């Protein structure tokens, strides 16, 4: 076992973790080479920049002038050259959003890279089916003791969604 492999420590707990949190130690070095730390700016770009801007842009890398990770240049890939002038006007706002998100002046400049964005997979809604008579009656029977009508309605909707995603019995 090499020295690096021994230095990685795994913490065990009784809770399940998301895949992204479990493999962050793997992606950290890949993102770190591109100046993206743990990839937070890539992962949360829609939240940072807003839906409209995120639809046409994606962070590529951050370069820093020195060893310190402050006042860097964010290389931003944009898929339409027509949006570049608008982004130049919005640059102070975008920089402010990024720096407020991180809590320090992580980025001081934007540099635009013109080219296609990676293809985004559309979010698929789960396939649902109507409940059969037995499932419908079981759902009603389970909720008969709930006195609060709002709670009963919410639980019925949740139960209907969960049961309708199961394979038909």
Instruction: Using the predicted structure, report yes or no on whether residue 22 has a pLDDT greater than 80.
Output: no
Tokens at 118, concatenated: 């990676």
Tokens at 168, concatenated: 């038909």
Query: From CA 97, how far away is CA 89, in angstroms rounded?
Result: 14
pLDDT in the model for residue 34: 45
* Cβ atoms 77, 54 nearer than 8 A: no
Terminal C-alpha separation, the chain: 50
Tell me the mean pLDDT in the region 101-114. Answer: 87
Instruction: Using the predicted structure, report yes or no on whether residue 80 has a pLDDT greater than 50.
Output: yes
Query: From CA 31, how far away is CA 33, in angstroms rounded?
Result: 5
Pick the more confident residue, 133 or 81: 133
Q: How many residues does the chain have?
A: 169
pLDDT in the model for residue 96: 92
Task: Provide φ and ψ at 140, rounded to 5°.
Answer: -65, -40
Query: From CA 83, how far away is CA 113, in angstroms rounded?
Result: 12
Give the domain 24-114 fold: GMP Synthetase; Chain A, domain 3 (3.30.300)
Give me the sheet containing 72-78, strands edge to edge: 57-63, 72-78, 107-114
Domains of the chain by residue range: 24-114, 133-165
């Amino acid at each position: 076992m090499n020295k690096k492999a021994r230095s990685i420590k795994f913490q065990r707990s009784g809770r399940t973790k998301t895949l992204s949190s479990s493999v962050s130690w793997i992606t950290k070095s890949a993102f770190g080479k591109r100046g993206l730390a743990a990839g937070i700016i890539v992962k949360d770009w829609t939240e940072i920049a807003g839906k409209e801007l995120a639809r046409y842009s994606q962070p590529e890398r951050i370069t820093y002038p020195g060893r310190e990770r402050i006042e860097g240049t964010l290389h931003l890939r944009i898929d339409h050259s027509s949006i570049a002038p608008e982004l130049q006007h919005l640059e102070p706002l975008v920089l402010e959003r990024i720096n407020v998100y991180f809590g320090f002046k992580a980025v001081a400049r934007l540099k635009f890279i013109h080219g296609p964005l990676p293809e985004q997979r559309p979010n698929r809604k789960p396939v649902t089916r109507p409940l059969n008579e037995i499932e419908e009656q079981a759902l009603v029977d389970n909720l008969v003791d709930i006195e609060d009508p709002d709670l009963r309605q919410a639980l019925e909707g949740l139960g209907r969604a969960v049961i309708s995603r199961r394979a038909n019995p």
